[in-house]
Structure 1
Amino acid sequence: MLRRELPQGQLATYEAGGGSCSVLPPELLNRSRVTVVDIDEDQVRNNTYADEAILGDVQTYSFGRETFDLVICYNVIEHLPHVDAALLNFRDALKPGGMILIGAPNPRSLSGVVTKYSPHWFHVWFYRNIRGIKDAGLPGEPPFPTFFHPLVTLPRLEAFAASNGLEMIYRREVESPRYPEMRRRKPLFAALVDAAAAVMNAVLPGGIDVRRGDYHVILRKR
């Protein structure tokens, strides 16, 4: 959809909280002038792909109006206490017809509920012992503290966007990548989690799948 909807030629792209790793497909990255804003000094220092890497807070950092064709905000909004301020900054920085790609955990999924209501030390334990990331929790390394502002919930995000000049043109809920990762690394633990998810899916109404722990949306500026 991004390839189809974005202008051809050079793109001005803002990766909000982009850190040191881009999620853009190479075809789009190669024709983008990328600006990254991240609050973590280590992430900014380690960034090698951005044309400009800025140490700053995406909730307060503002650019000139109608500066960018695309804003990427991937696995970021769950960490922000003021999601509304960040979204309005993104909107103002977009050219007319520009788009915001958001990837975030679904607060109404099993992994989202666990992440939202468990302490940060548990997140670090999970990354180190289940995911096998030994540097987890060290300076500049995930997991980072989460807030789960109400706007992270999809219906509220869509309503806020609609009332502030943004149209949701793409929405997809997907299984959290933690599931296949756990099945590969910790099959017994994964089997227990899968069993718990299956029980929840059986009793919850409306065909809910609690394994859909992440979502991707695209918002377009009217």
Structure 2
Amino acid sequence: MSEESDNRPQVDRGAGPVLGTPGEVTAALQDVVTALLRAPAGAPLRALEAGAGKRIRLDVPEDAYIVGVDTDDTAMNLNPRLHERVVGDLHDYVASPDSFDLITCWYVLEHVERPEDLIARFARMIAPGGLVVLAVPHLWSPKSLFTKLTPHAFHVWFRRRVLGFPNAGRPGYGPYPTTLRRTIAPAAITALVARHGLAPVFEGYFEDEKQARFRRRLGITGRRWSLVRGLVRALSLGRLDAARSEYVVVLRRDPARPRPALSESLSTRA
């Protein structure tokens, strides 16, 4: 067994957040979604891909009706599962209350100015008992802090020249400009959604695959990686964990809790 595999975090499916590799955490998330997701009687499941991109992230029934919303029409045109493609800003997208049984917002909130407004909109769009799935960079990780403190042009250069993605920054391909507001931190999301009748039923953390490949190229594996993680935790007084660079959460709408009015849900604009 390699030194790297000896020190790789093992998936923990017990109480509390799930920790593991991207594949392990995503599989655990999928299990929760599959177990809890329900379509209306006699009707197909309706799903919203908020920031659709080139593919859907979760397995849904084949007869599910999927709506995609994204500003990047090039990326959406590469997504074969979408029944509707809405080109535009998610802040401008309007849907009736209780329109969707599943809303997936995968690596979008870190790119918008007011992620709390989108979460409030999702809370109105989701049907009773429905699920909202969010994936964001873990704000309190070295990767996110480095991203926030460096310009977008550097992110494009780094992904092309260092990570080896030649299409980075071209139409239909990331990276996209980031805002990384504090409202996408795990604790902030949990506090925010509680006001909108949503509750976490799953949380997970994992290390970004691109970060993992890069550190392995530098020889930061095994005991060296454990040392780096420990040093980061010590210097940040326990706030940062280099191995928890990504955060995913499944939120369920409480069927019994009334939803606040839209004017009460959205934050006040300056």
**Fold in common (TM above 0.5):** yes
Structure-2 residue corresponding to 1:5: 36
**Superposed CA RMSD:** 2.1
Q: Deviations over 1:120-156 (max 9, x none)?
A: 0111012112321101111221000001122111111
Equivalent residues, number: 217
Give the deviation of 1:81 after TM superposition. 0.7
Q: Equivalent residue of 2:178, what SS?
A: coil
Look up the equivalent residue of 2:84 and give its one-letter code: E
CA contact (8 A) 1:110 1:197 kept: no
Query: Which stretch shifts more, 161-170 or 204-213?
Result: 204-213
CA contact (8 A) 2:38 2:130 kept: no
Structure-1 residue corresponding to 2:4: none
The two structures have a TM-score, normalised by structure 1, of 0.89
CA contact (8 A) 1:111 1:211 kept: no
Structure-2 residue corresponding to 1:145: 177
Q: Equivalent residue of 2:89, what SS?
A: coil
CA contact (8 A) 2:138 2:185 kept: yes
Q: Give, in whole Å, the separation in 1 of the partners of 2:90 and 2:154.
A: 26
CA gap 1:73/1:55 in 2 versus in 1, 3 angstroms:
same
1:17 equivalenced with 2:51 (yes/no): yes
Q: Deviations over 1:1-53 (max 9, x none)?
A: 0011111683211000011211113xx25242111000112223333220111
Percent same amino acid at aligned positions?
Answer: 29
CA contact (8 A) 1:47 1:53 kept: no
Query: Which stretch shifts more, 125-134 or 101-110?
Result: 125-134
1:60 equivalenced with 2:70 (yes/no): no
Structure-1 residue corresponding to 2:218: 188
Give the deviation of 1:209 after TM superposition. 2.2
Query: Which stretch shifts more, 152-161 or 122-131?
Result: 122-131
Superposed, which structure 2 residues align to 1:41-120 within 5 Å? 41-120=73-152
Structure-1 residue corresponding to 2:22: none
Query: Which stretch shifts more, 201-210 or 156-165?
Result: 201-210
Q: Deviations over 1:66-114 (max 9, x none)?
A: 1110000001100011212211221111111111000110111011111
Gap regions ≥5 residues in structure 2:
1-31, 255-270
The structure whose residues are more often strand, as a share, is: 1
The two structures have a TM-score, normalised by structure 2, of 0.74
Query: Which stretch shifts more, 165-174 or 152-161?
Result: 165-174
Q: Give, in whole Å, the separation in 2 of the partners of 1:208 and 1:81.
A: 24
Look up the equivalent residue of 1:101 and give its one-letter code: V
Runs of 4+ deviating beyond 6 Å: none
Structure-2 residue corresponding to 1:167: 199
CA contact (8 A) 1:59 1:83 kept: no
Gap regions ≥5 residues in structure 1:
none
Q: Equivalent residue of 1:108, what SS?
A: coil
Larger Rg computed on CA atoms: 2
